[in-house]
Amino acid sequence: MPSRKLKEFLDRNNIKYVSIQHSPAYTAQEIAAAAHVHGKQLAKTVVINKDGNLALAVLPANYHVDVEILRKATGAHSLTIATEQEFKDAFPECEIGAMPPFGNLYGMETYVEDSLSENKEIVFNAGSHTELIRISYQDFINLVKPKVLSFIK
């Protein structure tokens, strides 16, 4: 089951979603293979430290965040990929590394890579290493209201 906070948020907003169960997987490649999802459709959530505050960068699983491009695009003075130690307590109910891309549920800014807009639907971790959620990309944008930027090479 998705994290209670995520499920309640989706239900409260009348969002149609599909829950996808899969065997335990931890890397984006393992998750995509276990759930039979294309890497471009799987949205991975990367926690960043932007000027001392945690934020989320959401991008297709088959890409990596270009930290310097994202730093410039956000206007940050400093921007790094956050360590697990930095964010382990920021996502109650979620397993470490399986947080959904909903920064608004955790008081964090969310940046989404523009190339995800090429997908009609996106799939993302639901708070555990054994479940994904599939929703329309437009519903994601409407709910999260992320800043859409280009931050991959």
What pLDDT does residue 29 have? 81
Confidence of residue 2 (pLDDT cuts 50, 70, 90): low
**pLDDT tens digits, one per residue of 29-43:** 888 888 888 878 999
Where is average pLDDT lowest: 3-7, 119-123, 128-132? 3-7
Q: If you average pLDDT over every residue of the chain, what do you get?
A: 93
More confident residue, 31 or 49: 49
> Domain map of the chain by residue range?
4-149
4-149 placed in CATH 3.90.960.10: yes
| Residue 64 CB burial class (10 angstroms; 0-12, 13-18, ≥19) | middle
pLDDT at 33: 80
Give the Cα separation of 106 and 91 in Å (integer).
Answer: 7
Q: Is the pTM of this model over 0.85?
A: yes
Task: Identify which has the larger pLDDT, 104 or 38.
Answer: 104
Q: Which residues are registered as beta bridge partners of 89?
A: none
Determine the average pLDDT of the residues in 73-83: 97
Q: Is the pLDDT of residue 1 over 60?
A: no
More confident residue, 23 or 49: 49
By residue count, the chain amounts to: 153
Q: What value does the mean pLDDT take over residues 99-117?
A: 97
Q: What percentage of the chain carries pLDDT values higher than 70?
A: 99
